[in-house]
Structure formats: structure tokens, C-alpha cells
Chains A and B, each alone.
Chain A
């Protein structure tokens, strides 16, 4: 069965510092991988996705993630944090059985301080 583990439920960085949010997955089939962001009191919005092809994918707001099959990882990074990046981030992997089902990680809350 597919699963997602996000290491660190809370991450705190200084403004301008590197952001690194960790995601490891398990999947019995080639996965599609996603990062979603949730701002306070809002729904989730897609940040970026990996399907096939280039393993380094770029998303909105300067975020990127690299698919590493050998490490079963899909970590999210941003070179320089901005105060507006404070949010909760969810990694997700496609579930088995089709019908577009996604399996979500527990989420990582990112705090950015001045």
C-alpha cells in the first residue's frame, strides 16, 4: 500500500534562510508525487507535482522538489524563505486502485520568523 511520511511536523526558519521540508513515500507502482500548500483558514492548493521525466520540478512561489527514486524521497526546498511562506505543507502520492486517489502525509507547518 502507498504511504507518505513527512519528517517534522513543525519547521521554523528565519526569513531569507533555506527551506527544506522532507517527504518520503512508499509505493508499489511508479508514483506521481505532489506538494500542496494550505494557508490559514483556506483549502489546499497545488504547489508542484512530479509525474515522469525530469526529476527536479519547479513550482509556484520559488519552490522546487527533487524526486529521488533510490531514496524514495521528494523533498521540498526554497532557497530563501519569505514571511508569506508560513503555511502548512502536505506531500501526497497517488494511491492504488485508480480513480485519482491521493494519499496525504500528516503535514509540516512552516513558521518563518524575522
Chain B
């Protein structure tokens, strides 16, 4: 199992450009998430998905969009990049097992470091 994979690892964008951060998991998890991590702020949830075709906003969704056409993939789209979107982005997934706590164990990808200048 590769687990959760993310591409690219690093990216520099100019203000106003757009890009898609890719995320894939091979664990057949239904739940997937996108977070951003800023220094001293912990992780903030951007969007999440409970299955193919179902997505919803998290705590900080403005400036981002997602889609979930398959169980495996959960791309994050930035349409008009702004300096405030400079951050490290993590994708995560979690299983739907009914054993206690397993629902809440999230498996993280290695992250994408994005700089907008």
C-alpha cells in the first residue's frame, strides 16, 4: 500500500494563477480531507468528502474547490491564487470501520508546500 500520496511536493505560483493539488489513497477509505497548516496555527480543515460525489466545506473553504469523482482521488483546486494561500497542504483519509475510534484515525499524505508570490 502506498497510503496517501500527494503531488506536487513543492510549487511556486504567481498571484492570480490557478493549480490543482492532487491527492490519492489506495486504502479504500470513504472519508477524505484537505487541511492547510500554517506556523503556530495547527491544521485547519478546508474541505472534506464522505464518499464519491459528496463533498462539504470545512473551516476555511474560501478560495478553494474540490471534487470527488472516485473513491481514490480527491483533488483540491485553487482558482485565483493569493499570497494568503501560501501554506503547507495536507490530504488525509480515514476508514469507515465501526470499531471504536477507527472512524477518527486519519492517515496523512506527505504534504504540498505552496508559495504564492
Contacts and interface: CB of A to CB of B under 8 A. Distances in A.
B83 interface: no
Contacts of B100: 51-52
Given A100-B94, A101-B58, A46 B105 contact: yes
B53 interface: no
Given A32-B101, A51-B101, A52-B100, A101 B48 contact: yes
Interface residues of B, number: 25
Interface stretch (A37-45, A60-68, A70-78): A37-45
A24 interface: no
Contact of B108 (A45, A99, A100, A101): A45
A42 B50 CA distance: 25
Contact of B48 (A43, A52, A94, A99): A99
Nearest to B108: A43
A102 interface: yes
A34 interface: yes
A102 B104 contact: yes
Interface in A13-47: 32, 34, 36, 41-46
Which of B31, B43, B110 gathers the greatest number of chain A CB atoms within 10 Å? B43
B41 interface: yes
Contacts of A43: 4, 90, 92, 108-111
A9 B101 contact: no
A106 B48 CA distance: 20
Contacts of A41: 110-111
Given A9-B40, A52-B100, A101 B45 contact: yes
B7 interface: no
Contacts of A34: 104-105
The 4 A-B pairs at the shortest CB distance, nearest first, are namely: A43-B108, A51-B101, A104-B42, A51-B100
Interface of B: 4, 31, 40-45, 48, 50, 56, 58, 90, 92, 94, 100-101, 103-106, 108-111
